[in-house]
Amino acid sequence: MRRLALLAALALATLPIPSQAFEVTQQRGIASYYHHKFTGRTMANGDRFNPNSNTAAHRTFPFGTVVEVTNLRNGESRVVVITDRGPFIRGRIIDVSPRIAEELGMRRAGLAEVVVRPLGQIDTYEEVAEASAR
């Protein structure tokens, strides 16, 4: 876990600064996670879904947006990359992969109240693919 956090911090330290200001503020709401039945299916960005990745779905953040998701119940946080659209159920603001749900401590309940805080933007397809594979 610490190695993953260190890798995420290093990746964020080397992110390119977007050409436009990143004006999205943090959001608070309900997170859910992808069911394993979506494994291998194509996501909105064209990649196949991997349940062990750090990918997430958000309705409006651009693909490649790096966000920190914090479970308000236990304080656990993880960094994810937006690679898909959703969730499509009213009241939910983000869907995370099963691995991230487990690490956030929300897998058993299926839902958690979270804060989603944008950290930056990855610009190239290669950077998005590399970051979401972590």
| CATH classification code of 2-17+24-132 | 2.40.40.10
* Partner residues linked to 81 by β-bridges: 55, 66
How long, in residues, is the chain? 134
**Can you give the pTM of this predicted structure?**
0.77
- What are 70-93's pLDDT values in tens digits? 999 999 999 999 999 999 999 999
Query: Residue 112 has what pLDDT?
Result: 98
User: How far is residue 48's CA from residue 22's CA, in Å, rounded to a whole number?
Assistant: 27
Per the CB < 8 A criterion, the answer to whether 59 and 99 are in contact is: no
